[in-house]
């Protein structure tokens, strides 16, 4: 019985991992995404629809907000992402970003 409860609790926990990638704004839904460096994988970031960035870690907001237009820069770093749904081939996986470190701002202009 205890083993069954432990297995259920483990299955209900979000699958979290660290990815090295480039966070960027794009047209479409979701507007914020992370390209996982070295792959063809794009992760969709679950944030507010108006790109308020309130659900992102404070260090990402602090680095990105002074840029003004989010489409003018991207943020490279190591992001701890937690999956909202299981990963499927050919489908953008929705994630939440809980932590970020080793951040570098890359401006396009």
Give the mean pLDDT of the chain.
85
Write down the pTM of the prediction: 0.82
DSSP 92: P
Task: Judge whether 106 and 64 are in contact, CB under 8 Å.
Answer: no
The H or E element that residue 77 is part of is strand 73-83
Q: Is the pLDDT of residue 108 over 90?
A: no
The closest of 70, 63, 20 to 47, measured between CA atoms, is 70
Q: Give the pLDDT confidence score for residue 74 in this predicted structure.
A: 94
């Amino acid at each position: 019985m205890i083993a069954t409860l432990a297995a259920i609790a483990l299955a209900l926990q979000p699958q979290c991992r660290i990815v090295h990638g480039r966070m960027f704004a794009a047209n479409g839904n979701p507007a914020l995404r992370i390209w996982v460096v070295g792959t063809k994988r794009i992760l969709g970031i679950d944030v507010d629809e108006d790109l308020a960035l309130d659900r992102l870690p404070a260090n990402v907001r602090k680095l990105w907000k002074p840029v003004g237009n989010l489409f003018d820069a991207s943020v490279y770093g190591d992001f701890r992402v937690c999956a909202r749904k299981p990963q499927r081939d050919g489908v953008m996986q929705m994630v939440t970003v809980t932590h970020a470190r080793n951040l570098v701002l890359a401006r396009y202009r």
